[in-house]
Structure 1
Amino acid sequence: MADVHNKQTRSYNMSQIKGKNTKPELMVRKFLYANGFRYRIHVKNLPGKPDIVLRKYRTIIDIRGCFWHSHSNCRFGDNVSTSSEKITSRRHSAIERDIIKMKKWKADGWKVIIVWADCQLEPRRKKSKVRERTLLKIINELKGENTCN
């Protein structure tokens, strides 16, 4: 399928995609803060500058986009309508970076909670039962009530 935009328009559109302070990140951060959890964001002395760091609980919350991080068994992560080598290589490099970061975090003794932005938080919906369950699950894991990932 041919791209509907010219090269400059596509480049501009891609440059507007944020990597920090995204809507899913803000959802999780606001929920944690409202429930009394205090955290740091994008801590520079940790590998990969994780999204949310809760030092008191020795926990990192990593919020990943389903498409760019190739979430398996997900309608947002598995669907690749373009066979572009550039996009495919970016997705593979994101997966490799995720594996390296996870190993380093766990080696340093951090507990890691991964939240998939598109299918677990559903940022496009105003209200979502899936989002509520996901956010409550994060709190349960932080309090030690739930140990499964």
Structure 2
Amino acid sequence: MKKSKPMTRSENMARVKNKNTQPEVYLRKLLWHRGFRYRLNYKSLPGSPDIYIPKYKVAIFVNGCFWHMHENCRYASIPKNNHDFWKNKLEGNVQRDKQNYIRLESMGINVIVVWGCEIKQMMKDKIIEKEKTDNLANHILSTPKFK
């Protein structure tokens, strides 16, 4: 494996997007084709959910496994370089997520977290895609509507 320059990690991290990621766009297209209409990155709500479906009061977060420390996931690991910084940063993300989810639920909004690795798997396995999309759609539809 080729050894990288010290600036490479910084440059790579600077390129990471937080909106319109490939998994997020993929999930949005699946939901749109199922007839769900939504708002994107809804800033009026805590945590600015990636997808907010007002009709069902459902907030969907598409979480990257690395940035949100997905438990028991091969994509979620703390870098060895500058370990303390990354540990604090990533644990802070997880704490902030939990607080946002609690605030949303106290507002009567159902929170759904979809992990990046799950969407990557759906993108690979087209057969499972319909089953997972059906499960997500059923979960959204089973939430009580609030006027």
Specify every segment of 5 or more residues in structure 1 that has no aligned partner in the other structure, as ranges: none
Q: Does 1:62 align with 2:72?
A: no
Q: Which amino acid aligns with 2:110?
A: K
**1:72, CA displacement in angstroms?**
1.4
Partner of 2:7: 8
After the TM superposition, which residues 2-41 of structure 1 pair with which residues of structure 2 at under 5 Å, given as runs? Answer: 4-41=3-40
The RMSD of aligned alpha carbons is: 2.2
Percent of matched pairs sharing the same residue: 33
Tell me, in whole angstroms, the C-alpha distance in 1 between the residues paired with 2:41 and 2:68. 18
Partner of 1:100: 99
* Paired residues of 1:121 and 1:130 also in contact (CA < 8 A): no
Q: Which runs of 4+ in 1 moved over 3 A?
A: 123-133
Secondary structure at the aligned position of 1:56 is classed as: helix
**1:65, CA displacement in angstroms?**
1.2
TM-score, normalised to structure 2's length?
0.84
| Residues 48/122 of structure 1: CA separation in 2 closer, same or farther (3 Å cut) | same
Specify every segment of 5 or more residues in structure 2 that has no aligned partner in the other structure, as ranges: none
Structure with the bigger percentage of helix: 2
Q: Deviations over 1:58-104 (max 9, x none)?
A: 10111111122111122323x44626122211210110111110011
* Paired residues of 1:63 and 1:115 also in contact (CA < 8 A): yes
Tell me, in whole angstroms, the C-alpha distance in 2 between the residues paired with 1:7 and 1:87. 16
Structure 1 range deviating more: 26-35 or 67-76: 67-76
Partner of 1:144: 142
Paired residues in the alignment total 141
Q: Deviations over 1:30-58 (max 9, x none)?
A: 00111111000011111111100000001
* Paired residues of 2:122 and 2:129 also in contact (CA < 8 A): no
* Paired residues of 1:122 and 1:131 also in contact (CA < 8 A): no
Q: Which amino acid aligns with 1:122?
A: K
Q: Deviations over 1:84-142 (max 9, x none)?
A: 12221121011011111001100111001110111x11169543445443322111111
